Amino acid sequence: MTAETVADITLDTRGTLCPLPVIKARLAMDKMKPAQVLQLLASDPGAKADVPGWARVAGHRLLRQEERDEVFIFWVQKGEGKQ
Amino acid sequence: MSTETTVVQGLPGGELAEFQALHSRAHKETDVRRAAIVASKGTLDMAYPVLILASTAAAMGMEAGVFFTFYGLDIIQKKKFRHLKVAPLANPAAPIPVPNLLGAIPGATFLATRVMKFLMARQKMPPVEELLKTCQELGVRFFACSTTMGVMGVKPADLIEGADIAGAAAFLEFASQAQVTLFI
């Protein structure tokens, strides 16, 4: 894997709690094309497990996940034919 | 390249192929997932779990449906959903923990509700109204219990737009295909 994961869209959900990071991620995905990558920033501690769970069930691919200064950063690639 | 394969990198070639076949088959079988939720309470603290779980299920690509019954029907009544309350009586975990006797005095419920709404807003939690809208935008089905409507004198026009009036059988038919069933 490359050191830098390139994102098509960045979504900042910092300062919001569950369910907003996942809801906003879903709404952002609706506007994206398959294989495009969403970069998601979240400060909700629940997001650490929520975003991977959402991505798996919704059929997207979690490419990468990082934690920097209590901010979770996810790179999620939109699945084929998924919402 | 793919992060998925890193999980099974240690497997010998044959086993890897077998694993991948199994994985894709398992994924297909549960391709359409469904969550069926019963909302039986009409307080603010009971409305939130219902609407959060339903909207999140839909956001995950699941089919989600909520059966609003008895006091839970208040959550989808036009004139009521903005005025759901937190009851401090017999609720030691209420925002202001008060002895039961004080919880019964006029104004205690009003105060507990104000505090909860303040705490919610401070954390940027959307109000019930907005969560209802989000649920509907994401395709969550709302079933309004017809028996409750009859008993409580609720008219179809009292319900928010898009709620279907249904009995137990209709909801159970929906729930019979669900992998997730919750009673709240």
Contacts with B55 from chain A: Cβ below 8 Å: 19, 23
φ and ψ of B165, to 5 deg: -80, 130
CA distance A40 to chain B (A): 15
Q: What percent of chain B has pLDDT over 70?
A: 83
Query: Taking CB atoms and an 8 Å limit, are A19 and B59 in contact across chains?
Result: yes
Q: Is A71 helix (H, G, I), strand (E, B) or coil?
A: strand
Place of tokens 């999140």: B56
Express each pLDDT in A20-44 by its tens digit: 999 999 999 999 999 999 999 999 9
The number of domains in chain A is 1
For residue A73, is it within any domain?
A: yes
pLDDT at B31 over 90: no
Kindly list the domain boundaries of chain B, sorted by start residue. 33-83+127-183
At residue B45 the predicted structure's pLDDT band, cuts being 50, 70 and 90, is very high
pLDDT at B8 over 50: no
Query: Taking CB atoms and an 8 Å limit, are B62 and A61 in contact across chains?
Result: no
Cα B88 from Cα B99, distance rounded (Å):
9
User: Which of A30, A37, A38, A57 is the best substitution to test chain B (most B C-beta atoms within 10 A)?
Assistant: A57
At residue B143 the predicted structure's pLDDT band, cuts being 50, 70 and 90, is very high
CATH number at residue A61: 3.30.110.40
Range of the domain at A41: 9-77
For residue A83, is it within any domain?
A: no
ipTM: 0.80
A3 Cβ under 8 Å from any chain B Cβ? no
Out of B62, B124, B138, closest to residue A57 by CB? B62
User: Which of B60, B132, B133, B135 is the best substitution to test chain A (most A C-beta atoms within 10 A)?
Assistant: B60
Tell me the two tokens of residue A83: 């919402």
φ and ψ of A66, to 5 deg: -135, 160
CA distance B23 to chain A (A): 12
Amino acid present at B2: S
For residue A82, is it within any domain?
A: no
Rounded to two decimals, the pTM is 0.81
* CATH class in words for B33-83+127-183: alpha beta
For residue A3, is it within any domain?
A: no
Q: How many CB atoms lie within 10 A of CB B89?
A: 15
Q: Which residue of A has its CA nearest to B134?
A: A23
